[in-house]
Structure 1
Amino acid sequence: MLAGKGIRAIAVMWAMTAISFILVPLRLYTRIYIVKALGVDDHVFNLAWVFLLLYTIFMTISGYYGFGQSITTLEMDMAVKAIYNEMIGQTFAVLGMAIAKISLGIFLLRIVVKQWHRISIWISMVSLAIVSVMTAILFWIQKLPSESIYDPRVPGRLVVKVTPFSILLGSWCAAVDFYFALLPWIFIWKLNMKFKEKMSIAISLSLGFIACVCGIIRTVDLGGLNSSNYTLDTVDLIIWSAVELAVTLICVGIPTVRPLYRVIVHGSNLEDSEGGYVKHNNSDKSSHVHMQNMAKGNTAFRAKDEGTTELYISRNNHSDEEVLVGQNNRTKRGIRVREEVRVETNY
């Protein structure tokens, strides 16, 4: 039965799982019915939440066998089952955190302008995935046979110390959180939009700073992995791992549900408004685009880059942010500047 610190840990984990789940249906509704641009990042986001759920479930099972209590007060069979289920839960946490951050990376790939932005995001995602998978594997083969890791009655030999890799993973997760939170402040200022809109979008995309702080705290608590009193000394690590994963999901989910917020609060309806997006090559210094049928009240902004101009067109109070989020829908709705549109280059 749950006892000791296990009660607090499991309660926090289920609370984090429930809070982060709120964003799952809200995000799906927003992307399917409001923005109409369901993408890969949405499926990756949902997968990350499933991993958080599995993490919580296995830690609850571990708590039933004694997680959160001193290992000296547990029967050997109970302690073995507690550690075994805790290790399974930690594996889901390690992979889930990487998946959640990859979801944000894929989302950022849809709205960044510069080529080096895309390259840096891909490097961050791929490297984080490699470190996460490597740490998860080493976690289970640090001793052979693997049963000797969680059952002291089974003789085994040490293959590799997993703590340095866990510290590397924790540090890299925090670094990726920091970079993904900082990146919007770099490219958002190139958009020709109101300062209030820039700040609103940049802040919503930069909530990952909170996950970065959680990741730093979790990394500090990694010392519990080497403790002989594993079921008790890893409580803080387990809690902060769940908090970091949940906060990452919340930070990733909030920017994508802002269009739904605008519909509810401001009454803007994307069904009645159309947005478009176009990219055209800027082979020289500047370009001038002639567009026809631009209704009064339409807004447009450009994000200029080396050799490329990103042109976003918004109609009927369609927010710039909603256009950013819904770029993948550009082939279905709204104004799109195609090849037949006259493009002149002036110097």
Structure 2
Amino acid sequence: MSEAGQGISSEGLLVVIWTLASVSTVLLAGRLLIRSIVLKSFHLDDMFGAISWLLMMLVMIIATVELPLSYQYSSILIGESPAPPESELENMAIRLRKWDVASETCFWTSLFCVKLSFMFLYKIAFCPRNKYNRVWSWSLIYIVLCYGTCLIGVYGQCGDAINLFSYEECITPYVALLQSRLVWVDYFFNVTSDIVVIALPMPVIWRLNMGTKQKLALSAICSLAMITIAFETVRSVKLHQLDSHLTNLYSYLELLVSVLISQLPSYRFLISPSEKDREYRRLFWSRVTMRSYHSGFSGYSMQNFDRTPRATESWGTTHSTIRGREVPSPISINTK
């Protein structure tokens, strides 16, 4: 099939998005398995991670259904295909808009669920810090407001929401100007909320009592959102310029990579050199391979994540014994 001015065929686009969606599905399944074995429970970050994956899959399903019509419509607009009667073209445009509104709603909701997943992961890891809690709360409020603003952009792209599916109302010069501005409004709130998610844990990470390599690794995981900011930047520029070349690809990549990244923190213990994480690995692989496992490591379940700050502080002063050596409890987070 022709690329219809979009820089990639519909078949090629579907191969790319479903390949990444499959990788995200495997990572989510692994995340839930790891949490069920190591943590023995699930938390809000897991819930938002699962919701973001579910909505991402809905976006992929909508894309699969919508793409043939989208490419047909684009082919007509650029003159590759003969133009049908005006009424038929209007019907195609309205059908596409209905699919787009559903897809964009799921897109933004999934994207911000990824951010909420990271936010609640931070909450679990750094909850004893009262000053951090205040910053975290204000950051959460800002992210929710950004999400609401992006949804307003979806339903207000033709001015009043009542005109959203009116062909005549959506092709006026006023709407064209409004849409060009909404592109940058969405960009600003999406990117600034990403920056909040990236920057929020950095001061705490660099005060932790751990090696520089571990700090860099944690910082790198939190900074992976810079990849999605790059996709969002390119996508917004192309939308502003009314350039459809690879625009859909960048949009889907932004969402797919975001959901994929949100699953990665659960796998950190598989490569961490700390004694605590080595015990987690032994526990995890023993459960996966159905082997018996015995350890004097008393804190591997990490159930203390649900403890109050006072209880957590108390646990931070206790120690476990491994092969006759004293090591800090796995949930203690000591600052320099």
**TM-score strictly above 0.5:** yes
CA distance 1:147–1:36, shift in 2 (3 Å): same
CA distance 1:142–1:196, shift in 2 (3 Å): closer
TM-score, normalising length: structure 1: 0.69
In structure 2, what is the equivalent of residue 253 of structure 1?
A: 263
Which of 39, 42, 45 is the aligned partner of 2:43? 39
Name the Cα RMSD after superposition.
Answer: 3.7
How far apart are residue 293 of structure 1 and its match?
7.2
1:309-328 aligned within 5 A: 313-314=329-330, 323=331
CA distance in 2, matches of 1:175, 1:134: 12
CA distance 1:145–1:130, shift in 2 (3 Å): closer
Which of 178, 195, 203 is the aligned partner of 1:178? 195
Which of 36, 44, 63 is the aligned partner of 1:59? 63
In structure 1, what is the equivalent of residue 211 of structure 2?
A: 194
CA distance in 2, matches of 1:65, 1:34: 46
1:81 and 2:86 are equivalent in the alignment:
no
In structure 1, what is the equivalent of residue 17 of structure 2?
A: 13
Which amino acid in the other structure matches residue 325 of structure 2? Answer: G
Are the aligned partners of 2:269 and 2:280 in contact in 1 as well (CA < 8 Å)? no
1:206 and 2:223 are equivalent in the alignment:
yes
How far apart are residue 39 of structure 1 and its match?
0.4
Are the aligned partners of 1:100 and 1:245 in contact in 2 as well (CA < 8 Å)? no
Which amino acid in the other structure matches residue 194 of structure 1? Answer: G
How far apart are residue 41 of structure 1 and its match?
1.0
CA distance 1:269–1:169, shift in 2 (3 Å): same
CA distance in 1, matches of 2:280, 2:44: 28
In structure 1, what is the equivalent of residue 298 of structure 2?
A: 274
What secondary structure is seen at the aligned counterpart in 2 of 1:192?
coil
1:217 and 2:234 are equivalent in the alignment:
yes
Which amino acid in the other structure matches residue 46 of structure 2? Answer: D
CA distance 1:255–1:156, shift in 2 (3 Å): closer
How far apart are residue 144 of structure 1 and its match?
6.7
1:8-157 aligned within 5 A: 8-67=12-71, 69-72=74-77, 73=81, 75=84, 76=89, 77-112=91-126, 114-143=129-158, 148-150=163-165, 152=167
Are the aligned partners of 1:132 and 1:169 in contact in 2 as well (CA < 8 Å)? no
What are the ranges of 5 or more consecutive residues in structure 2 without an aligned counterpart? 285-292
Name whichever of 114-123 and 19-28 sits farther off.
114-123
What secondary structure is seen at the aligned counterpart in 1 of 2:206?
helix
CA distance 1:165–1:63, shift in 2 (3 Å): same
Any idea what the Cα deviations from partners look like across 1:313-336, whole Å, max 9, x if unmatched? 13xxxxxxxx48xx9xxxxxxxxx
Name whichever of 149-158 and 190-199 sits farther off.
149-158
CA distance 1:71–1:126, shift in 2 (3 Å): farther
Identity across matched positions, percent: 18
Equivalenced residue count is 292
How far apart are residue 9 of structure 1 and its match?
3.5
1:239 and 2:266 are equivalent in the alignment:
no
Are the aligned partners of 1:59 and 1:86 in contact in 2 as well (CA < 8 Å)? no
CA distance 1:101–1:2, shift in 2 (3 Å): farther
CA distance in 1, matches of 2:320, 2:106: 52
In structure 2, what is the equivalent of residue 299 of structure 1?
A: 327
CA distance in 2, matches of 1:54, 1:83: 16
What secondary structure is seen at the aligned counterpart in 1 of 2:37?
helix
What are the ranges of 5 or more consecutive residues in structure 1 without an aligned counterpart? 228-232, 282-286, 301-312, 315-322, 328-347
Any idea what the Cα deviations from partners look like across 1:154-189, whole Å, max 9, x if unmatched? 789868935434423322222232332233332123
CA distance 1:184–1:291, shift in 2 (3 Å): closer
Are the aligned partners of 1:143 and 1:149 in contact in 2 as well (CA < 8 Å)? yes
